[in-house]
Amino acid sequence: MTQNRQQNQHTLRWQSQGILLLFLPFAAAWVTLQAGQAWFLGNAVLWQALGISLGFAVLVLALRAATPAAALTGALVAAILYFRTPGWRTALWPLLALFLLTFAATRFRRRRKEILGTGEGKRGRNASQVAANLGVAALALIPLTAVHVFSKAQGVERVSLLAMAAVLAEATADTLSSELGQVLGGEPRMLTTFRTVPAGTDGAISLAGTIAGLIGAVITTLAAAFVLRFTSREVFLILAGGICGLFVDSLLGATMERRGWLNNDAVNALSTLAAAITATVLYSVHFPAIR
């Protein structure tokens, strides 16, 4: 990371803190309510969610993939996904696919990334990065943050799952395209001008990175489709949302992030939101009954 970029990220740190404030209180409150209800009813899903979430946090810490605060934030996301999709056919499987793919991509040719100044910190991701990449996916499954409260039409539950899957697809594609694109070769080009720029430049894209990102999105989407039983049309809508979010990420990076208006966490959060909105709008077009 260049010195100017480091300064911009520090100056705009309030955006990262704002993302945490938008996500953590609401998510924690909802999980607490779900846990309390499960406890009152004697539902085993409480202990399953607790065990899985803590296990996920321990795994992340053991691999040094994130800070303790980030691991707990990830555990909160995992709890939300499991409470909404309990059992073996759970949304945790595509989340696990995302984690494994992004972890491998981050570690791939790490020394080269450190030389370029674009490598991830040795402590791994922090809490705001986790919230920026996964917060929208979790919130999409919480009824009061989705369209459930505004619409009683059939299909709303389904579209929330599609929005969640699109976010996971976008987050996977974004990480793989940036982490692998900068070390696989090829000339990175600015999305807005198509001029050649140094590897790691905000908003730059490369053929290798884009292909890697698309493959990652496909893998995560297929994992979601298998466990959540999405149809082939729904798979297409999820991928469309993820790909749209990926290019929104590059566009925001090439414009607003480079100008110092947004930091990377804000760009990631807005890109995942774009993925969720795209999947939701496309679903409403193809399945008008939810409107």
Radius of gyration of the chain (CA): 18
pLDDT tens, position by position, 63-115: 888 899 999 999 999 999 999 999 999 999 999 999 999 999 888 866 666 55
Who wins on pLDDT, 177 or 151? 177
204-222 confidence digits (pLDDT tens)? 888 888 999 999 999 999 9
C-alpha distances (whole Å) from 257 to each of 5, 28, 65, 183, 262 are 9, 30, 25, 22, 5
Q: Decide if pLDDT at 164 tops 90.
A: yes
pTM, two decimal places:
0.90
Q: What is the average per-residue pLDDT within 14-38?
A: 94
Secondary structure (DSSP) of 11-43: HTHHHHHHHHHHHHHHHHHHHHHHHHHHHHHT-
Domains identified in the chain, total number = 1
**Residue numbers of the domain that contains 24:** 3-290
Is residue 122 over pLDDT 80? no
- DSSP of 76-110, one letter per residue? HHHHHHHHHS-SSS-THHHHHHHHHHHHHHHHTTH
For the chain, what percent of residues have pLDDT higher than 70? 84
CA distance 84 to 165: 13
